Chains A and B, each alone.
Chain A
Amino acid sequence: MSTSASTPETAAPRDEDRAAAPVGGAPPWLGRVKWGVLAAIVVLALAWPYLVSSFYVGMGTQALFYGLFALSINLLAGYGGMVTLGQAGLMGTAGYALAILTTTSGLPLGPAMLAALAICAVVSAFFGLLAVRARGTYFVMITLAEGMIIWGIAVRWQALTGGDNGITSVPRPAFALEYWQYYYFVLAVVAVCTLLIGRLVRSPFGLTLRGIREAEDRLPSLGYNVGLHKLVAFTVSGVFAGVAGLLLAMYNNFFGPSQVFFLASAEGLLMSILGGVGTMTGAFVGASVVVYVKQFVSSYVDRWMTLLGVVFVLVVVLAPDGLVGAWIRVVWSNVVRRVTGSGRRARGPAMRNEGGREAT
Chain B
Amino acid sequence: MPGGIRAASSCAPVGREKRRVSLHEFGLQLLNGVTFGAVLFIVSSGFTLIFGLMRIVNLAQGALYLIGGYIGLSVIRGTGSFILGVIVGATAIAAIGFVIERGLLRLVRGKPMSEILLTVGLSFIAADLALAQWGGDPVTVPAPEAISGSTSILGIIYPVFRLVVLGLAVVLAALLWWLQERTRVGAIVRAGVDDREMVAALGINVKAVFTLVFTVGALLAGLAGVVGGAFLSLYPGADSEILTYSLVVVVIGGLGSLQGAIVGSLLVGLIYDFGQSLVPSLAYFVLFAPMALILIFRPRGLFGKETA
List residues of A whose CB falls within 8 A of some B CB.
Answer: 83, 85, 130, 133-134, 136-138, 140-142, 144-146, 148-149, 151-153, 155-160, 163-164, 256-258, 261-263, 266, 269-270, 273, 302-303, 305-306, 308-313, 316-317, 320, 351-357, 359-360
Instruction: Check: B110 CB closer than 8 A to any chain A CB.
Output: yes
Contact partners of B1 in chain A: CB under 8 A: 155, 164, 256-258
Instruction: Check: B190 CB closer than 8 A to any chain A CB.
Output: no
Within 192-222 of B, Cβ neighbours of A (below 8 Å) are at 195-197
* CB of A138 to closest CB in B, whole Å: 7
Select from chain B the residue with minimum beta-carbon distance to A165: B1
Instruction: Check: B296 CB closer than 8 A to any chain A CB.
Output: yes
Could you tell me if A148 and B117 are in contact, using CB atoms closer than 8 angstroms?
Answer: no
In the assembled complex, the Cα of A311 lies from the Cα of B131 at a distance in Å of 19
Instruction: Check: B57 CB closer than 8 A to any chain A CB.
Output: yes
Ordered by A's residue number, 5 sampled pairs between the chains whose C-beta atoms are within 8 Å are A155-B3, A157-B282, A302-B132, A351-B117, A356-B308
A145-B248, A145-B288, A153-B282 known; A356+B112 contact, CB < 8 A: yes
In the assembled complex, the Cα of A145 lies from the Cα of B251 at a distance in Å of 10
Instruction: Check: B174 CB closer than 8 A to any chain A CB.
Output: no
Select from chain A the residue with minimum beta-carbon distance to B131: A305
Could you tell me if B57 and A149 are in contact, using CB atoms closer than 8 angstroms?
Answer: no
Contact partners of B59 in chain A: CB under 8 A: 85, 144
Could you tell me if A303 and B114 are in contact, using CB atoms closer than 8 angstroms?
Answer: no
* CB of A230 to closest CB in B, whole Å: 14
Residue in contact with B118 in the complex, picked from A83, A155, A261, A313, CB distance below 8 Å = A313
Contact partners of B287 in chain A: CB under 8 A: 152
A136-B112, A320-B114 known; A148+B284 contact, CB < 8 A: yes
Residue in contact with B128 in the complex, picked from A85, A148, A303, A359, CB distance below 8 Å = A303
In the assembled complex, the Cα of A353 lies from the Cα of B118 at a distance in Å of 13
In the assembled complex, the Cα of A85 lies from the Cα of B240 at a distance in Å of 12
Instruction: Check: B255 CB closer than 8 A to any chain A CB.
Output: yes
A138-B255, A145-B244 known; A357+B112 contact, CB < 8 A: yes
Interface stretch of the complex, out of B33-41, B70-78, B119-127? B119-127
Could you tell me if A262 and B240 are in contact, using CB atoms closer than 8 angstroms?
Answer: yes
* CB of B125 to closest CB in A, whole Å: 4
Could you tell me if B118 and A317 are in contact, using CB atoms closer than 8 angstroms?
Answer: yes
Could you tell me if B132 and A317 are in contact, using CB atoms closer than 8 angstroms?
Answer: no
Could you tell me if B129 and A303 are in contact, using CB atoms closer than 8 angstroms?
Answer: yes
Could you tell me if A144 and B244 are in contact, using CB atoms closer than 8 angstroms?
Answer: yes
* CB of A81 to closest CB in B, whole Å: 9
Return the 3 tightest CB-CB contacts between A and B, nearest first: A152-B284, A312-B121, A309-B124
Could you tell me if B118 and A309 are in contact, using CB atoms closer than 8 angstroms?
Answer: no
Could you tell me if A144 and B247 are in contact, using CB atoms closer than 8 angstroms?
Answer: yes
Instruction: Check: B237 CB closer than 8 A to any chain A CB.
Output: yes
Residue in contact with B240 in the complex, picked from A261, A269, A305, CB distance below 8 Å = A261
Contact partners of A153 in chain B: CB under 8 A: 281-282, 284-285
Contact partners of A310 in chain B: CB under 8 A: 121, 125
Tell me how many residues of B have a C-beta within 8 Å of chain A. 59
Could you tell me if B121 and A309 are in contact, using CB atoms closer than 8 angstroms?
Answer: yes
Select from chain B the residue with minimum beta-carbon distance to A256: B1
Residue of A136, A148, A262, A316 contacting most chain B CB atoms (<10 Å): A316
Could you tell me if B307 and A317 are in contact, using CB atoms closer than 8 angstroms?
Answer: no
Residue of B4, B111, B124, B126 contacting most chain A CB atoms (<10 Å): B124
* CB of B191 to closest CB in A, whole Å: 12
In the assembled complex, the Cα of A133 lies from the Cα of B51 at a distance in Å of 20
A137-B112, A266-B124 known; A152+B4 contact, CB < 8 A: yes
In the assembled complex, the Cα of A157 lies from the Cα of B197 at a distance in Å of 50
Contact partners of B292 in chain A: CB under 8 A: 130
In the assembled complex, the Cα of A89 lies from the Cα of B112 at a distance in Å of 24
* CB of B258 to closest CB in A, whole Å: 18
Could you tell me if A159 and B296 are in contact, using CB atoms closer than 8 angstroms?
Answer: no
Contact partners of A353 in chain B: CB under 8 A: 110-114
Residue in contact with B291 in the complex, picked from A145, A256, A258, A308, CB distance below 8 Å = A145
A85-B120, A148-B244, A312-B120 known; A133+B282 contact, CB < 8 A: no
In the assembled complex, the Cα of A357 lies from the Cα of B295 at a distance in Å of 21
Contact partners of A146 in chain B: CB under 8 A: 288
Contact with A along B267-308 (1 / 0, CB 8 A): 000000000000011111101100110011001000000011
Select from chain B the residue with minimum beta-carbon distance to A77: B113
Contact partners of B131 in chain A: CB under 8 A: 305
* CB of B233 to closest CB in A, whole Å: 15
Instruction: Check: B185 CB closer than 8 A to any chain A CB.
Output: no
Within 245-268 of B, Cβ neighbours of A (below 8 Å) are at 247-248, 250-251, 255
Contact partners of A360 in chain B: CB under 8 A: 55, 195-197
Instruction: Check: B116 CB closer than 8 A to any chain A CB.
Output: yes
In the assembled complex, the Cα of A12 lies from the Cα of B125 at a distance in Å of 34
In the assembled complex, the Cα of A164 lies from the Cα of B1 at a distance in Å of 6
Residue in contact with B113 in the complex, picked from A138, A302, A352, CB distance below 8 Å = A352
Q: A309-B124, A316-B108, A356-B55 are in contact. List 16 more A-B contacts (CB 8 A).
A: A85-B59, A141-B57, A148-B240, A153-B284, A155-B3, A155-B4, A263-B127, A305-B124, A305-B127, A305-B128, A306-B128, A313-B125, A316-B117, A317-B104, A317-B108, A353-B111
* CB of A163 to closest CB in B, whole Å: 7
Instruction: Check: B21 CB closer than 8 A to any chain A CB.
Output: no
Could you tell me if B111 and A320 are in contact, using CB atoms closer than 8 angstroms?
Answer: yes
Residue in contact with B283 in the complex, picked from A148, A156, A262, A357, CB distance below 8 Å = A156
Contact partners of A269 in chain B: CB under 8 A: 117, 120
Could you tell me if B114 and A308 are in contact, using CB atoms closer than 8 angstroms?
Answer: no
Could you tell me if A133 and B295 are in contact, using CB atoms closer than 8 angstroms?
Answer: yes
